[in-house]
Every structure is written in structure tokens, then in C-alpha cells.
Amino acid sequence: MENRENFHLSRILSPIADSPLIITVLLVSFGVNAAITATVSMMPLFIRELVLSATGEEALIASTTGLVLGIGAASSAFASVLFGKLAVRIGYWTPLIICMAAGALFFGLQALLVTTVAQLMILRILSSFFIGGALPLAKSIIALSSEKDKQGVVYGVNSSVTAAGMAFGPMIGSSVAMLGLRAMFVASAAILALTSIVAAYRRKWA
């Protein structure tokens, strides 16, 4: 009975296991979502430091945190539409790699340069913009790379991988934050840099 169940499961997952390209995109989905959420849990503490050093007003911490996170979400939403239209003209993989590499750059700059809330907002807008472009591009590649009758399985696994990335991200961010709050930005930058390298290497399977 157990062998039959294992055989059935292997047949269901065969569209993924037999496609290095889809496996690569799933790794990208995991990495991008982990990078996004790695900074979220500790962001209020980082903003608290910036606000107190600038104004000393604790009352501004909550509203400033909401503004920073909200403006990042708006940037991501705009980018998803823009890159979706752009990819139709120039392809999906090159914009995806550019988005992840640029996201890594701007997360790294948040760790190195930010001393004020204004600087954080600017870099947050830029990092969120490129990450917002990466997510729909990855989903589009999955749609183009899988057979129509297998897309349900692939999308289901991608949803699970996405959820796993969103779960591990805060764990990674809070763990490295013990080294200093700026370390969470370094972690996000490292994750995105690694996934961009993986995506670039995948060209031989395209």
C-alpha cells in the first residue's frame, strides 16, 4: 500500500522532478519571498532607532513604520504591472535576473548607508520595486514552462514553496539580527544574490 502511494505521488510530482527549469524557478520563488520577509519582523526596531536618533519622539515610530512598509508595497504593486508588460516584449529571464540582482544591491545599500528614515524610504522603494517585478516574472515562467494539464500541480507546489519562503524569511532575519539589526538587510541581499546566480546559470535548460 505504501509503495503504491509513493508511486502515485511520484507520478503527480513528475512534471516538477523531470524539469530542472521548473525546479530552478521554485528555488527563485522561495528565495525571493524569504528575502522579502526577512526584514519585516525586525523593521519596527530598526525604524525605532532611526526615529529616536533623529527626533526622540516615540509617538512617530508606529506611523513611520506603517509608511515605510506601505510605500514599499505600493512600489511592488506598480512594478508587477510594469515588468509584466515589459517581459512580453523582451522575455522573462533577463528581467527576472536583473530584478533580483538590483534587489540585492538595494538591500545591501540599506545595510551600509541608511542613517535616516528618508534614506530608508528611498532604498525601500527601490528594493521593493525590483522584488515586485521578480514575483510575477517567476509565475509567468512557470506558466510557460509547464504543460497545461500539469499546471495545477506546478502552481500548487509553487504556492507551498512561496509559503515556505515567507515562513523562513522572518526566522532568518530575526536570527541574523542578533548580530545587529542591519544584518537582516545583508541576509536579504545575500539570498537575492544567490537566487540571481541560480537563475542566470539556468540558461542551459531554457
pLDDT digits (tens, 9 = 90+) for 124-160: 999 999 999 998 888 888 877 777 767 777 788 888 8
- 34-66: pLDDT as tens digits: 999 999 889 999 999 999 887 777 878 888 999
Q: How do the domains of the chain map onto residue ranges?
A: 20-205
Q: How confident is the model at residue 21 (pLDDT cuts 50, 70, 90)?
A: confident
Kindly write down the DSSP assignment for every residue of 37-66, as one continuous string.
HHTTTTHHHHHHHHHHHHT--TTHHHHHHH
Specify the pLDDT at position 138. Answer: 87
Specify the pLDDT at position 204. Answer: 55
Predicted TM-score (pTM) of the model is 0.86
Which cell numbers hold the place of 44?
A: 519596527
Choose which CATH entry (1.10.3720.10, 3.40.50.720, 1.10.150.650, 1.20.1250.20) describes domain 20-205: 1.20.1250.20
d(CA 62, CA 65): 5
Q: How confident is the model at residue 198 (pLDDT cuts 50, 70, 90)?
A: confident
Q: How confident is the model at residue 113 (pLDDT cuts 50, 70, 90)?
A: very high
d(CA 11, CA 186): 40
Kindly write down the DSSP assignment for every residue of 154-205, as one continuous string.
HHHHHHHHHHHHHHHHHHHHHHHGGG-TTHHHHHHHHHHHHHHHHHHHGGGG
Q: From start to end of 87-163, where are the E strands?
A: none
